[in-house]
Structures are given as C-alpha cells and as structure tokens.
A = this chain, B = another copy of it.
Amino acid sequence: MYKEKEELPAVTGDFYEQSEKMYVATDCIIFGFDSGNLKLLLFKRRVAPLEGEWSLIGSFVKLDEDVSAAAERVLEEITGLKNVFMEELKVYGAANRDPGYRCISVGQYALIRLKDYDKELVEHHGAVWHDVKELPSLVLDHEQMVEDALEKLKQKARYQPLGFELLPEKFTIPQLQSVYEAIFQKELDTRNFRKKVFSHNVLVKLDEKDKSGSKRGAFFYMFDQKRYKKLVEKGNDFEVF
C-alpha cells in the first residue's frame, strides 16, 4: 500500500496545518427603493485602514456564528431591521483581494423597505443611501459585489416576487411598476404590466387610495403571501414578470 497522507495531501479531508489565519467575512449589499430609483446603503470608513473611503457594510464571521447569522447581525446593527429578504450572492475568495490579510468574504444582498429602517442608527454608523446610478468608488472588490448583486437581482426578480420587498405593505400598481423598471433598467408598458401582475392572483385590492402621486389617486394593493406560496407548492414555475 501507498502512504495515503503523502500521496493524497489535499483531497482526503484530513487537516493540515495552516501557518497563518484565514479570515471569513460577510459584506452586505443593501438595496432600498425611493422615488423611482434603486438605492444602496454605503458606509464611509472612519478608521484605518482605508479611512475616508466608501465601502459596503460588513463584518467578520464569529467563530460560533453561522455565516448567514453574521449577515443578519450586520444588517440589524446598521438598520435595526430583522427578518428582511436577504440571500447569498457569491463568495469573493481571491487570495489577494484584501491586501495584508487573507480574508474571503461572503457577499449577501438584502432588500429593505426604506420607511422601516432606523435612521438614527444608520447615521450613527456613517452610512448613507446612494442612488445605484451614481455610486462612488468603493474599496477592495466591493464594486464587483455591487455589480454582481444588481445582475442577480435582475435575474431573480423575473421568477420570484422580489419587487414587493422594496415597497411598503400597501402599494399602488404604478409604484410596483416603477420598482420593476428600476430593477430591469427599462420602461415597461402599463397595460401589459398590469395584465401580468394581476394574472397570478396574488394581489389584494384595498378600498383605500394613495392620493400622493396624482389627483385621481391610485388604489392600494397588498401582496398575498399565502396565495403565492400555494402557487409555488403546486410547482408553478411562473414568471412574476
């Protein structure tokens, strides 16, 4: 027999010693929506290294903490929000991505309702909302993360009802359309949009109107989570859009 350890150093699953530490971090790409535009929450670093530079909001993953929990912790620390839509984007694992340390980062993107977050907390951390069309330079590979997140959002939003995550519970159809126009970066036809979103029977019309946007006013709607879940369970692999 051959000596297993020597001939099969890496794939056998037994541990070898690493002389330096490997760090694991998570960075959050936090999206919001306001007056027709997608917004991104960025953070101006107030300590070295990279003081004064804009970056995403992140943290190291603690040794006894799930990676997803780390991202939830960061989000809550910055915005005060729990239980919002958040999902893994991608691992950023280039050996040289962070000069000086070896650190991989798990990018996670979140969609939040701009009305809900804790403004004091955000300001206290030096975090600021930026229009995604006018972003400053970001540290490290954070610009890549944002680009990837925008692309993933575009893809996912076609088959999962993500638009609703960016709006208040009560919203109007013109508002919803505006969200999707921001995500897909193109204008949509009003009539076709309505046809599509109504076709799934997951919107509940309310009696109330939103008069802030027009003289006539637009009816409020709510998204029916239960009915949506039933559709998914039935294996309905439908396009929300």
Contacts and interface: CB of A to CB of B under 8 A. Distances in A.
Contact of A11 (B23, B48, B57, B95): B57
Given A61-B22, A63-B20, A104-B67, A46 B88 contact: no
A190 B202 CA distance: 36
Interface size class of A (residues with CB under 8 A): 35 or more
A158 to B, nearest CB: 10
A160 to B, nearest CB: 12
Contacts of A64: 95, 102
Contacts of A62: 18
B45 A12 contact: yes
Contacts of A19: 63
A95 B47 contact: no
Give the oligomeric copy count. Answer: 2
Contact of A10 (B5, B48, B68, B74): B74
A8 interface: yes
B91 A14 contact: no
Contact of A43 (B11, B45, B74): B11
Interface string A2-45: 00110010111111101111111000000000000000000101
12 contacts: A5-B47, A8-B125, A13-B45, A13-B50, A13-B58, A13-B59, A21-B22, A22-B24, A24-B104, A61-B104, A69-B95, A88-B91
Interface of A: 4-5, 8, 10-16, 18-24, 43, 45-48, 50, 55, 57-69, 73-74, 77-78, 88, 90-91, 93-95, 101-102, 104, 106, 125
Given A11-B57, A22-B61, A91-B106, 16 more contacts: A8-B125, A10-B73, A10-B77, A11-B43, A11-B58, A11-B125, A13-B55, A18-B21, A18-B23, A22-B22, A24-B24, A61-B93, A63-B95, A65-B95, A67-B104, A93-B106
